[in-house]
Amino acid sequence: MASDDSLPTLKILLIGPSGAGKSALLTRYCDDEFDPESSAATIGIDFKIKNLAVRGKAYRLTLFDTAGQERFRTLSTSFYRGAHGVLLVYDISSRASFLTMERWFDEAEANTVEGVALYLVGSKLDKAEHSREVSSEEGQALADAHGANFCEASAKTCENVRRPFVDIVDQIVQTPGLLAAARRGRAVGTLAVGGGGGDTGDGNGYLGCAC
Amino acid sequence: MAMDFSSELSDTLWDVVICGTGLPQSLLALSLSRSGKNILHIDSNDYYGSADAAFSLQEADDWVARHSTTAASSTSVFKSASITKPENVAGLSFPRAYTLALAPQLIHARSELLSQLVSSRAYRQVEFLAVGSFFVFKPSSSPALAPTLVRIPSTREDVFSTTAISAKAKRGLMKFLRFVVDYNNPLQTEAWQQHADVPLVDFLRAHFKMDAELQTYIITLTLSLDGRISTRDGLATIHRHLSSMGMLGPSFAAVYPKWGGISEIAQVSCRAGAVGGAVYMLGNGIKEMTTGENEISLELTSGDKVRTRRLVRGEETGGDEKAIARLVAIVNSPLKTLFETMVEGAPKPGVAVVAFPTGSLASAGEIDIDCPIYVFAHSGDTGECPVGQSVLYLTMLSSPDSKNILHRALESLLIALDGEQQRPESLYHLYYEQAGSSMKRQQDGLIFGFPPPSLSLSFDDATLGPVREAWKVVMGEAGADYMTFPDREGYVDDDEMYD
């Protein structure tokens, strides 16, 4: 595969209410790990990177977690910038969790570019048998209402864990203009501020040589 | 798994509560983001950025409604805010297509702020654009002619090739520039130190025999609000400009963060704080405060009660110094002539500067300006307006007539820029006044207060000192490396294929 830096980079966000299992899904997908005891808010994860090939073409996914800013709904507009896709995650064993999703859709739609790929995920599918509070049909209907795709998944059993990520990448690359729209401006005049780029300064532009 | 956040708030003894999300408070959150401290970061506004915020048109409406009073306010540095939309001019896009910055400051390449953003790794989430050409507005010499913009030469080659100034003036300019690059050399300080407190314009005239035009170029580069910057401060500012030139790429000295300038840095810094475990609440301020010997009890406007070892907040009122007036205009033209690259290989600038020098806005029956007006022009590449439009930020020292004057300046500028197919027209105006203050940072026992925001048009590194002091206060003896962190992201290398 080509070196990482040359891959097209997709920015994908995971949003949704606290305790929906966003981080569990992310950690299972990226690291194939699941900690049944971990229910605390996520600390220390800015984003994870995963390379993925869909339809024979490789992409570099940057997967952004909410870093706890979903708790009091304080995600910033800058968090949403340049996003190609948004995974909206709720817990199928919590109706309260599902009921917040309309607002999360509103926020995602308001802060992203037109045509952004939206994908609704009902998590904790392993609880379906004993404590499901939201039917699969309800999830599908909400997704349909927002032009989103939908699936249910379990980070615990691994069922369907890869599917939302693969599907949303497919959705992104099948949407004409989305890659360019979300990247708008990154190509235009964006500077390399951290190391490299430019000379060492000292007024070189003005006074290159003694004269 | 519903969590009870209220009890978490009240059960925790916080190491620090940070109040306000302006740049200083946000940088403090960034600086503490790997400290392991328990941090609660709140803002009484329901948006990030405090006085450094950036707004969609909808948010601007809400903000103006709260800052429209013309009386000096005891709770805000802003007043006299209003929005007007010219009739019969179509083209304004939807409200979220715009991000209007309250603090559209330029950041010089040599600013310590950039170094800290790089060493703390926060810069990865910010996109910077080059600040390109500086222009000076020249009124027309006869009523039949349009006013023009003269570009200030930005490189040595530029100085030689420009036809705007005479050969004699070029020699004078080059002599001055060489002097400034080395102005703190003991051999040079003698020449200026006895004049350190006189206005730089007088020093330029007396020592470099500069004519009024060249003086204007130099003063424009200082972005001095009253045009009377002292020789000491002026030389330091020009030196910063020259030594920043070329540092991050050819032919520019300063940068601007896309999507609203300082606001974006504040948001990214808060995100870094959150990643480090800080708890964020917006639309929640301090209602009551009781200070004990070792901790402070706060009642928040949400009703939550919290206890903290330290409180860091920002002063949001001012008024003992001159105020500025600002007009933000959305224009239905890309104003391409402002954003041309002048040197091969230079990045496309997203920002240009136009100065109206003192006395350049004469018109029949109107009083001329006795201080400069600075216009920051932002292209659609800044993300602050749709591509094909521009945002103009006009700033001057506030006077009873400044709203009218800024509108006249805007009109004159659009006439000077009328060279393209369609005469540029403004679609939207946001006007406000912002009070200045000489207040310094304050520390009173367990409470630390940042000074009110600077009115400077370029980022003032003096803003950073109090942030570091606040960091020391919170960290105590444990503080070692300030703002220096490794990257966080864990790279995952295994590749998967799906067809």
Would you state the pLDDT for residue B338? Answer: 96
When CB atoms are compared, the residue of A30, A45, A206 closest to B177 is: A206
The mean pLDDT of chain B is 91
Contact yes or no for A55 and B499 at CB 8 A: yes
For testing the chain A interface, which of B156, B240, B493 should be mutated: the one with the most A CBs within 10 Å?
B156
> Which residue in chain B has the smallest CA separation from A124?
B1
In this prediction, residues A15-37 reach a mean pLDDT of 89
CATH 3.50.50.60 in chain B is located at 5-53+259-316+438-478
Would you state the pLDDT for residue B142? Answer: 81
In A, which residues are within 8 Å of B116 by CB distance? none
Six token digits for residue B471: 């960091």
Long-range contacts, A187-191 (Cβ 8 Å, 24+): A188/B348, A188/B350, A188/B381, A189/B129, A189/B130, A189/B347, A189/B348, A189/B349, A189/B350, A189/B381, A190/B127, A190/B128, A190/B129, A190/B258, A190/B347, A191/B128, A191/B129, A191/B130, A191/B248, A191/B249, A191/B255, A191/B347
In this prediction, residues B385-405 reach a mean pLDDT of 96
CATH 3.30.519.10 in chain B is located at 81-257+321-435
Minimum mean pLDDT among A143-147, B181-185, B395-399, B487-491: which range? B487-491
In this prediction, residues B187-201 reach a mean pLDDT of 93
> A200 pLDDT exceeds 50?
no
DSSP secondary structure letter of residue B451: P
Integer Cα distance of A100 and B499 in angstroms: 34
Integer Cα distance of B346 and B142 in angstroms: 36
> B343 pLDDT exceeds 90?
no
> A95 pLDDT exceeds 80?
yes
When CB atoms are compared, the residue of B5, B382, B495 closest to A53 is: B495
Gap from B183 CA to chain A (nearest CA, Å):
13
In A, which residues are within 8 Å of B129 by CB distance? 189-191
In this prediction, residues A104-129 reach a mean pLDDT of 95
The fold adopted by the segment(s) B5-53+259-316+438-478 is FAD/NAD(P)-binding domain (3.50.50)
Would you state the pLDDT for residue A197? Answer: 40
Integer Cα distance of B401 and B1 in angstroms: 59
Minimum mean pLDDT among A50-59, A172-181, B439-448, B461-470: which range? A172-181
Determine the 3-state secondary structure of B497 from DSSP: strand
Say which residues have a Cβ less than 8 Å from residue B281's Cβ, sequence separation at least 6: A72, A74, B40, B41, B42, B43, B300, B302
Gap from A103 CA to chain B (nearest CA, Å):
16
pLDDT tens digits, one per residue of B37-88: 999 999 999 999 999 999 999 999 999 999 999 887 777 899 999 999 998 8
Would you state the pLDDT for residue A196? Answer: 45
The ipTM (two decimal places) reads 0.89
When CB atoms are compared, the residue of B2, B245, B281 closest to A96 is: B2
Contact yes or no for B267 and A207 at CB 8 A: no
When CB atoms are compared, the residue of B96, B253, B381 closest to A185 is: B381
> A3 pLDDT exceeds 70?
no
Q: The pTM is what? A: 0.93
> Which residue in chain B has the smallest CA separation from A111?
B96
For testing the chain B interface, which of A193, A202, A204 should be mutated: the one with the most B CBs within 10 Å?
A193
Helix (H) or strand (E) holding B396: strand B390-397
When CB atoms are compared, the residue of A54, A201, A207 closest to B244 is: A201
Would you state the pLDDT for residue B354? Answer: 98
> B2 pLDDT exceeds 50?
no
pLDDT tens digits, one per residue of B436-454: 888 888 888 899 999 999 9
Q: How confident is the model at residue B420 (pLDDT cuts 50, 70, 90)?
A: low
Contact yes or no for B490 and A43 at CB 8 A: no
- Which domains can be identified in chain A, with CATH numbers? 4-182 (3.40.50.300)
pLDDT tens digits, one per residue of A166-188: 999 999 999 888 887 766 544 56
Q: How confident is the model at residue B143 (pLDDT cuts 50, 70, 90)?
A: confident
For testing the chain B interface, which of A95, A191, A211 should be mutated: the one with the most B CBs within 10 Å?
A191
Contact yes or no for A94 and B251 at CB 8 A: no
- What top-level class would CATH report for the domain B81-257+321-435? alpha beta
Say which residues have a Cβ less than 8 Å from residue B109's Cβ, sequence separation at least 6: A198, A201, B244, B245, B247, B248, B252, B253, B254, B255
Would you state the pLDDT for residue A188? Answer: 60
Minimum mean pLDDT among A25-34, B15-24, B96-105: which range? A25-34
Handedness of CA B315, B316, B320, B326 (dihedral sign): positive
Helix residue ranges per DSSP H, A41-123: 77-80, 95-99, 101-111
DSSP secondary structure letter of residue B97: G
In A, which residues are within 8 Å of B493 by CB distance? 51
Would you state the pLDDT for residue A207? Answer: 46
Would you state the pLDDT for residue A210? Answer: 33
In this prediction, residues B272-282 reach a mean pLDDT of 96
Give whole-number Cα distances, B142 to B138, B145, B146, B362, B385, in Å. 12, 6, 8, 12, 35
Say which residues have a Cβ less than 8 Å from residue B128's Cβ, sequence separation at least 6: A190, A191, A193, B107, B255, B256, B257, B258
